[in-house]
Amino acid sequence: MASVTEFDYLVVGAGSAGCVVAARLSEDSDARVLLLEAGGSQPLEAMAIPPAWPTLLGSSADWADETVPQTTAGLRVPWPRGRGLGGSSSINAMNFLRGHRTSYDSWNEAGVEGWGYDDLLPYFKRSEDLTGVAGRNATVRGLDGPLRVGPAVERHPVARAFLAATLEAGYTEAEDLSGGLQEGFGWTDLSIADGTRQDGVTAYLGPAMDRPNLHVVTDALVYRVALDGDRCTGVEYSTEGDSVTVRCSGEVVLCAGAVGSPQLLMLSGIGPQDHLSQVGITTAVHLPGVGANLQDHAISGIVYESARPVPATVNNHGEMQGLIRSSARTTGPDLQLTIVDVPLREDSLPGPDIGRGYTIMVALMTPFSHGTIRLAGPTPSASPIIDPRYYSDDRDIDRMIHGLRVAREIGSAPALAHWRGNEALPGPDVHDDEGLRAYLFRNLRSYSHYAGTCRVGVDETAVVDPTLRVRGVSGLRVADASVMPSVISANTNATVYAIAERAAELMRTTHRSGPHGSP
């Protein structure tokens, strides 16, 4: 059974970006907006409880992907990403950081004008509400946005000791590391208010749900965008066994993330022609950059047995962070260190139990290693082939080795003596570069900050132009982490909100000036 309806805007994916775009577009009462989400409508109880977020991984709210083998030992890295209203903002670790301004200015330097830090600043401010938070400068931080954020109120004692240890090791304290202008260590903003997670649904979509012009359909698996020549005319999806075609008189915007958006483009025949031919899909628009340029933050760390029981947290397990440079030669900070109040490690590795250990986590913020998202077949039910190619560039390994050495230096500082027991991983006998390199390949995890697979740019391998329109197709845009030319030097959620805020403004401006626009 098939049905056909028509809207002014179709938004695919109700994650962080989709919640923003649908809510902002529906502020125009004459605009008919449809938001489609593959996951369900009901939140899981654990979503609201900040320290419970690890239990959401592998749940019904997670696509629960994994990479192809990333090491000679065949290690497949889990790749969680949100499924359901709120998407990854409803299952993530709730760190709210922009990344250093050099991340964005490098986009401008690469020829993508209009996407530097100063260009995005109004959209960062538009999304956030830091009313009453001390140490936040209103010239660069937002005070009246929908998303309430701020640093931890009840601070974990191990995190307090970690900050003191970083100062003993000679690093500087940052008053507002979340603002994008500082380096050093400090209490970062969290998407937590009054002890409850603040996600895309809470901040954006929920308040808009009663608008008569906004329609939300969940359990709707979109399997292609519809094309008439070089014009996107709508989407096709299935729900409850029915096949539905929805037409769009204005624009379709993909907000399915760095995995879902390129997957949907390729299923629609928009992508690299050689790959599409291999999986039996006729090419409608040859865009070789679709699914390429995949980037993520690899993480590892120094795991300690604790000298005394580690108290349970009321926050997110990682409320204190630092942003540093691996070398004075780098153009910006490229390593993030975080104190985690649990023994975080790859699942197969031995180590202390929760409550008996903690981790100084090291994350590679500006990876040279890039990978791909590819299709396993021509149907949307086939899981995508994810290959981030972690550490395929030796420069990444060198920087992570430096990060482990910094973590050890901080971990051995007097301020942590009260908590510090034995080093569980990699172990006190692993000191040389060869041993640390081997450890990084064994203790390899994803920070779940996927980006870059529908890159914005002006060259032939860019997927979207600076207004986020898909090149060669009219009436189709992408607005999520996939459009980042390079992954930023922070957790990506705050930036996704800003990208979506800007996308909604671009679309509303187009809608008011005339339909469709040009490809």
Model pLDDT, residue 519: 39
At 309, give phi and psi (nearest 5°).
-60, 135
List 100, 156, 297, 449, catalytic entry: 449
Is the pLDDT at 511 greater than 80? The verdict is no
Model pLDDT, residue 111: 87
pTM of the model: 0.97
State how far the Cα of 467 lies from the Cα of 457, in Å rounded to an integer: 10
State how far the Cα of 55 lies from the Cα of 197, in Å rounded to an integer: 14
Is the pLDDT at 288 greater than 70? The verdict is yes
In this structure, are 171 and 274 located in the same domain?
A: no
Is the pLDDT at 496 greater than 70? The verdict is yes
The interaxial angle of helices 117-127 and 101-109, nearest 10 deg, is 130
Model pLDDT, residue 516: 47
The secondary element (H helix, E strand) that includes residue 148 is strand 147-148
Model pLDDT, residue 1: 33
CATH of the domain at 9: 3.50.50.60
Write the pLDDT tens digit of every residue in 443-461.
999 999 999 999 999 999 9
Structure tokens at 180: 């994008």
Whether 363 and 338 have beta carbons less than 8 Å apart is answered as yes
State how far the Cα of 438 lies from the Cα of 433, in Å rounded to an integer: 9
Write the pLDDT tens digit of every residue in 360-417.
999 999 999 999 999 999 999 899 999 999 999 999 999 999 999 999 999 999 999 9
Domain that holds residue 225: 1-46+79-146+198-294+374-381+450-519
The interaxial angle of helices 117-127 and 493-513, nearest 10 deg, is 90
CATH of the domain at 361: 3.30.560.10
In this structure, are 253 and 342 located in the same domain?
A: no
Three-state helix/strand/coil letters over 437-487: HHHHHHCCEECCCCECCCCECCCCCCCECCCCEECCCECEEECCHHHCCCC
- What's the one-letter identity of residue 52? A
In this structure, are 283 and 356 located in the same domain?
A: no
| Nearby residues of 400 by Cβ (< 8 Å), 6 or more positions away | 298, 300, 335, 362, 364, 391, 440
Model pLDDT, residue 5: 77
Instruction: Between 73 and 276, name the one with better pLDDT.
Output: 276
In this structure, are 125 and 266 located in the same domain?
A: yes
Q: Say how far residue 197 (Cα) sits from the centre of its chain.
A: 16
In this structure, are 341 and 439 located in the same domain?
A: yes
Q: How many domains does the chain have?
A: 2
Structure tokens at 140: 């660069």
Confidence of residue 514 (pLDDT cuts 50, 70, 90): low
449 catalytically annotated:
yes
Which of the listed residues 415, 446, 477 is the one where a domain comes to its end? 446
Which of the listed residues 446, 475, 491 is the one where a domain comes to its end? 446
The secondary element (H helix, E strand) that includes residue 226 is strand 221-228
Model pLDDT, residue 106: 93
